Amino acid sequence: MKKIKPWLSAMRLRTLPLSVSGIILGTCFAIYNGRFSWWVLILAILTTISLQILSNLANDYGDGIKGTDNANRVGPKRAIQSGVITPDEMLDAIKFNIVVVIILTLSLIMAAFGPNNFLFLLLFVFLGGISVYAALNYTMGDSPYGYRALGDVFVFIFFGLISTIGSYLLYVHTIDHLVVLPAIALGLLSVGVLNLNNMRDLEADAKVGKITIAVKLGIKRAKLYHYFLIVGAMLTSVVFSIFYYIEESYNFLYLIAFIPFLIHLKKIKAAKAPNDFDSQLKVLALSTFLFALLLGVGYVLY
């Protein structure tokens, strides 16, 4: 019982709403096109959450044994860093979580496609495999991509493109240009969350040799990069709504989410200390979730 709280902290539950944003968005556009399954939705959410938890545990383990998480780190203490969970215990949890991901992924594939759609089965087995690889190798291993300024690319691909387009494909069984721009917008916002985290940890990461985009750019240019990500996502979504206008005001419902985005950008402009960036992590993550929900619902209501 004493370790329940540390394990929940290691799972970083506050990251879960962002992880399911693409599932919600892809599902809403599938409903817009007349396709939906409760089983697919439930299994897709569970699979995504299990992958996110796997990534969080692996991140805790990788940064913990490399010494990246140390006394200089700002934000919630990691499990291995604090000593409440040992590296061996974390590694066992990671292995268990991989088994859970495999079971959920196979269940999702069968629910979505059945046993006869071999090409789709093969595609999603492959996507599941590279998702596990990406979750593990962000900070784990001898050459983790998170230490080589590649985290932004992987987040854009997995949290934006694969999450949104992939979830849509689970229902509709075809790739549709309809979901490409929303997937790009969500990917940019998700990278924004990572960049915010990296701006917070910039000095600490640089000291231990963890090279992120923020470390490469420096804080001033990292802020400009952040503005590009958030404003780029906003403009992409507006372009999408113009191209796919449905003669109803509902498809502009997501503009409500622009209010917290703009307030967030103002806060980032004024941010100086690591805690200033840390305080905005939850704000941007939840604003992104709201954006995805409103963008998707706007087309469901049509």
Which has the higher per-residue pLDDT, 12 or 180?
180
* pLDDT of amino acid 220: 95
Is residue 72 pLDDT above 60, yes or no?
no
86/245 Cα distance (integer angstroms) = 53
Which has the higher per-residue pLDDT, 239 or 248?
239
Question: Among residues 60, 48, 59, 57, which one has the least CA distance to residue 16?
Answer: 48
DSSP letter (8 states) at residue 137: T
| pLDDT mean over 73-92 | 73
CB 148 within 8 A of CB 140: no
Give the residue carrying structure tokens 């916002």: 189
Q: What is the dihedral of CA 254, 257, 262, 267, to 10 degrees?
A: -160
- 288-300 pLDDT, tens per residue? 999 999 999 999 9
* pLDDT of amino acid 224: 97
280/130 Cα distance (integer angstroms) = 30
Question: Among residues 159, 14, 43, 35, which one has the least CA distance to residue 106?
Answer: 43
pLDDT band for 158, please (50, 70, 90 cuts).
very high
Percent of the chain with pLDDT over 90: 66
CB 71 within 8 A of CB 98: no
* pLDDT of amino acid 67: 63
* pLDDT of amino acid 71: 53
Which has the higher per-residue pLDDT, 248 or 126?
126
| pLDDT mean over 88-104 | 92
- 24-48 pLDDT, tens per residue? 999 999 999 999 999 999 999 999 9
| pLDDT mean over 64-79 | 61
Whole-number average pLDDT of the chain:
89
- 240-280 pLDDT, tens per residue? 999 988 777 788 999 999 999 999 999 999 999 999 999 99
Helix or strand holding residue 180 (H, E): helix 180-200
DSSP reduced 3-state for 244: coil
Least confident of 12-16, 17-21, 102-106, 261-265: 12-16
- Predicted structure pTM score: 0.92
Task: Looking at mean pLDDT, say which of 86-90, 171-175, 231-235, 272-276 comes out highest.
Answer: 231-235
* pLDDT of amino acid 25: 96
CB 22 within 8 A of CB 292: yes
* pLDDT of amino acid 1: 44
